[in-house]
Amino acid sequence: MYGNDVIDPNVPLNAAETAAYDEAAAHVEGRAVGEASAEGFDALIAADQRIEPRDAMPDKYRETLIRQIAQHAHSEIIGMQPEGNWITRAPSLRRKAILIAKVQDEAGHGLYLYSAAETLGVDRAELLDRLHDGKQKYSSIFNYPTLTWADNGAIGWLVDGAAIMNQVPLCRCSYGPYARAMIRVCKEESFHQRQGFEILWTLMRGTEAQRAMAQDAANRWWWPALAMFGPPDTGEAAKGGGHTEQSMAWGIKRFANDDLRQKFVDMMVPQADKLGIVLPDPDLRWNEERGHYDFGDIDWGEFWRVLRGDGPCNAERIEHRRSAHAEGAWVREAATAYAAKQASRRQESAA
Amino acid sequence: MSSDVSPVNSTNAPAESEESLPGAAENGPSGELPEAAYLLGLADDAMVYAQRLSEWMTNAPQIEEDMALGNIALDLLGQARALYPYIGSIDGTGRGEDDYAMLRDERDWRNVHLVEQERGDFADEMARLLWFSAYQVELHTALTGSSDDVVAGVAGKALKEVRYHLDHASLWVVRLGDGTEESHRRMQAALERVLPHLAELFDDDEASVTAAGLGVGVLPSSLHDAVVGRVRRVTDEATLTLPEASSWRSRGGRAGIHSRPMGYLLAEMQHIARSHPGATW
């Protein structure tokens, strides 16, 4: 019921419903996943083979992946908050059930990704500490507030849509556990994106107040969604630094930020038309010559400001995480203590 | 078990005191048929507890628990959603699930006070979940033999779910009771705090007496000893002491007399739906 009843399921609504995803998902492992390869790292990369946990890999490759996978996991966990904020207020029981399931999925994605990161030699507790201490980031999109019910639709449609566009190429990432995680995550995100579209679809066919709510949400989420692809990272713009070039060489990253952003815009504009939502960009128009939509300038000043901590919800998101974690410390300690007691009891009875 | 002192201070007798409460009408708060009123009590318990449990998502001690409590909330929500339209068909109003959930005022809700209490700490939630799921296991076991096929069907599905809920709560109560000094102290305190809200689960009001008489429902008092037995096995293993009696007990939920948190719970849950009359979502 994630929207398939109102829109043609055969028309792709997001990147996980395109051939690029199918190809990545069809990847067959060239060797047993648990074994270390006799070939060197460079040879595996050159042959477009996946690197597995027991393979030798450069420290920088390992660090880059830990940072990226952890950031991705943190984004799932922090990303539970904006929509979690609406579970108790969902306007119908069907919507409440869907929203609970969706936030659960996000928790599951977080756990799945922390496990992928753990294959690189870090543990989840350590990564969570880094999140809570501000040493590792999460996607800046979650520093925006969810002001109305329609925001849940806009997040599913635009934010999950943009995330999928970023993540489908990661299904071909050179690091096996991350690639396999992405194959699964993208499939679930695809449901999320459809349910977001369906929320907006329903609102746009509802009362005047509902239509206004949907339009307002789209107005507020469109530009932050475009910024999710990151600043331009090729040509002149890339000279400020960044990890793109090395990540491309290592098969972690496959497309430039601007390429993915363009694909996203091209995919979303017809969907906005279908919804009856006007995207908040006067410069948005089809360019026959390029075969793409032209769009206006993104406010990178705002992007950097929010990324550096001065967004509407940065402090709130981290504080929420920190306090839930701190309030639960005695529970986790008890579980550890009980497990230790049980282990020693087993030992005693075995002796 | 029957000679045991009842830890929930239940009299196992019809809750006569409700008759003296203002507004406790003979046929339930909305004058529904007793069978419908009985089922509404079950549905409202599940609905309101689902609402409370869902508040844990993003607030749980660990991410696995965000998921688990969300999962239990989803199961309970599913139970309520299965019952509401059926109740609408037998009470003659034809109401759907959202009519019941979003458009009823506090006095028309028939859930017990236990489920509407505000979220406490994790030990409070595990104490509540242990009791409520033990109660639901016994309830749905009995209801699988209901003369009403729909009720028996809902109970059969729910039974599989609530066994898992009981298992989940039991594991945590044991871990917390037999974990650290602090967790033991908190879990013991939580068992004491939840106590006054348990007796209501086992009160035989007129609706349940009628529903049980028809073979549709089950007398709540008949579940008492088995539920206490289930809980006691867990608290014993957890090195906790099941409190014997409290100086007061809640009453009136099944007659639409609720405690202070209920109005706020409904205000939050119903606000959006009520702000847009007639809208679909």
Domain boundaries along the sequence of chain B: 34-273
Q: Which residues of A touch B58 (CB under 8 A)?
A: 80-81, 84, 103, 320, 324
pLDDT at A212 over 70: yes
Cβ burial, residue A134 (10 Å; 0-12/13-18/19+): exposed
**Do A104 and B77 lie within an 8 Å CB cutoff?**
no
Which residues lie closer than 8 Å to A91 by C-beta, 6 or more apart?
A149, B102, B272, B273, B276, B279, B281
pLDDT in tens, B128-149: 999 999 999 999 999 999 999 9
Angle CA A240–A243–A244, to nearest 5: 95
Residue in B142, B149, B107, B167 with CA at minimum distance from that of residue B221: B142
Residue B16: pLDDT over 50:
no
A 10 A CB-CB count for B81 gives 22
How large is the average pLDDT for residues A167-188? Answer: 94
What gap in Å lies between CA A279 and CA B46, rounded to an integer? Answer: 41
Per-residue confidence (pLDDT) for residue A1, from 0 to 100: 42
Q: How far is A330 from chain B (nearest CA, A)?
A: 7
Residue B33 pLDDT class (50, 70, 90 cuts): confident
- What ipTM does this complex have? 0.93
Matching residue, tokens 């067959």: A28
Average pLDDT of every residue of chain A? 92
Structure tokens at A37: 């390869």
Please state, for a pLDDT cut of 90, what percent of chain A lies above it: 81
Provide the pLDDT for residue A39: 79
The mean pLDDT value for A165-187 works out to 94
d(CA A248, CA B70): 39
- Among the partner-chain residues A80, A95, A330, the one whose CB lies closest to the CB of B182 is A330
Cα separation, A95 vs A114, in Å, equals: 29
Q: Please give the CATH architecture assigned to the domain spanning B34-273.
A: Up-down Bundle (1.20)
Mean pLDDT of chain B: 91
What pLDDT, on a 0 to 100 scale, did the predictor assign at position A254?
87
Lowest mean pLDDT among A157-171, A226-240, A328-342: A226-240
Task: Give the whole-angstrom CA distance, residue A246 versus residue A176.
Answer: 18
Looking at CA atoms only, how far is residue B15 from chain A in angstroms? 32
Contact B67 A108 (CB under 8 A): yes
Closest chain A residue by Cα to residue B172: A335
| pLDDT tier for residue B10 given thresholds of 50, 70 and 90 | very low
The minimum CA-CA distance between B58 and chain A, rounded to whole Å, is 6
Q: Average pLDDT for residues A2-25, to the nearest whole number?
A: 77
Set of chain A residues whose Cβ sits within 8 Å of the Cβ of B51: 88
List pLDDT tens digits, range B210-269. Answer: 999 999 999 999 999 999 999 999 999 999 999 988 899 999 999 999 999 999 999 999
Angle between helices B63-90 and A93-118 (to 10 degrees): 160
pLDDT band at A264 (very low <50, low <70, confident <90, very high): very high
pLDDT digits (tens, 9 = 90+) for B164-173: 999 999 999 9
Of B67, B178, B182, the CB nearest to A107: B67
Distance from A254 to chain B by nearest Cα, in Å? 31
pLDDT at residue B28 tops 50: no
B58 and A334: CB-CB below 8 Å?
Answer: no
Q: Which of A132, A110, A292 is nearest to B57 (CA)?
A: A110
The verdict on A322 touching B (C-beta cutoff 8 Å) is no
Q: What pLDDT is recorded for position B27?
A: 43
Residue A237 has a pLDDT of 56
Query: In this complex, which of A100, A324, A329 lies closest to B70 when CB atoms are compared?
Result: A100
| Of residues A94, A149, A334, nearest to B176 (C-beta) | A334
Model pLDDT for residues A112-144, shown as the tens digit of each residue: 999 999 999 999 999 999 999 999 999 999 999
Contact A330 B186 (CB under 8 A): yes
pLDDT recorded at residue B245: 84
- Contact (CB<8Å) B180/A333: yes
Q: Over 50: is that where the pLDDT of B176 sits?
A: yes
Nearest residue of chain B to residue A335 (CA atoms): B175
Chains A & B: contacts with CB separation below 8 Å: 139
Residue A89's contacts (CB-CB under 8 Å, 6 or more residues apart) are A149, B268, B269, B271, B272
Chain A residues in contact with B70 by the CB 8 A cut-off are 100-101, 103-104, 107
- The number of beta carbons lying within 10 Å of the beta carbon of residue A32 is 7
The tens digit of pLDDT for each residue in B253-275 reads 999 999 999 999 999 999 999 99
Higher pLDDT, B154 or B28: B154
Cβ contact B81–A337 (<8 Å): no
* pLDDT at residue A16 is higher than 50: yes
Say what the pLDDT of residue A133 is.
96
Q: What's the pLDDT score for residue B24?
A: 38
**DSSP label at A36?**
P
CB contact under 8 A, B178 and A101: no
Q: In the CATH scheme, what is the code of domain A15-311? A: 1.20.1260.10
User: What's the pLDDT at B235?
Assistant: 98
- The pLDDT-based confidence of A236 (bands split at 50, 70, 90) is low
Q: How many Cα atoms within 13 Å fall on the side-chain side of residue B208?
A: 23
pLDDT over threshold 70, residue B7: no
Q: Among residues of chain B, what percentage have pLDDT more than 90?
A: 86
Looking at the partner chain, which of A100, A207, A332 has a beta carbon nearest the beta carbon of B73?
Answer: A100
Whether A175 and A50 have beta carbons less than 8 Å apart is answered as: yes
Confidence band (pLDDT; 50, 70, 90) for A238?
low
The tens digit of pLDDT for each residue in B82-109 reads 999 999 999 999 999 999 999 999 999 9
Nearest Cα residue in chain A from B47:
A93
What pLDDT is recorded for position A24? 84
Instruction: Tell me which residue in B67, B81, B269 faces A104 most closely, judged by beta carbons.
Output: B67
pTM reported for the whole predicted model: 0.92
